[in-house]
Amino acid sequence: MIPFSGTVKGEIFNGHVLPGGVDTQTVDINGVRHMSARYMLEGNDKDGEPCKIYIDNNGWFPSEMTMPFKTIPTFFTDSKALASYLHSNKFRTEGHPQHGGVTIKVFEICS
């Protein structure tokens, strides 16, 4: 288990990762790595209202993970401005290595 912290900057939310965020990684007998990151964000939504966003982010990779890695997040929020959007649409994330950490970029999957 890898604890982490960080900040969030975007068009619809700005804030930070609350203490307790953790990335858990396992490798199965076939050499497939599973990554599961679970964390809570606290900040302000696009309307400037305070809110929280819970993220459950999962991905599967070869045991030698390549960068950028890609995962599928699930969002839960108490934001009235963001709930319908985050709860109804599909997203993917990419993890890009940065000096001393990783930058996670979130993309909406359009059908």
CATH code for position 60: 2.40.160.20
Beta strands in 10-89 (DSSP E): 13-17, 22-27, 32-45, 50-62, 69-77
Predicted pLDDT at 55 = 98
Q: Contact at 8 Å (CB) between 12 and 85? A: yes
How do residues 66-110 score in pLDDT, each as one tens digit?
778 899 999 999 999 999 999 999 999 998 888 888 899 999 998
**pTM for the predicted model, two decimal places:** 0.90
**CB-based contacts of 54: which residues, under 8 Å, 6+ apart?**
38, 39, 40, 41, 75, 76, 77
Q: Contact at 8 Å (CB) between 41 and 13? A: yes
Domain membership of residue 27 as a residue range: 2-109
Number of domains in the chain: 1
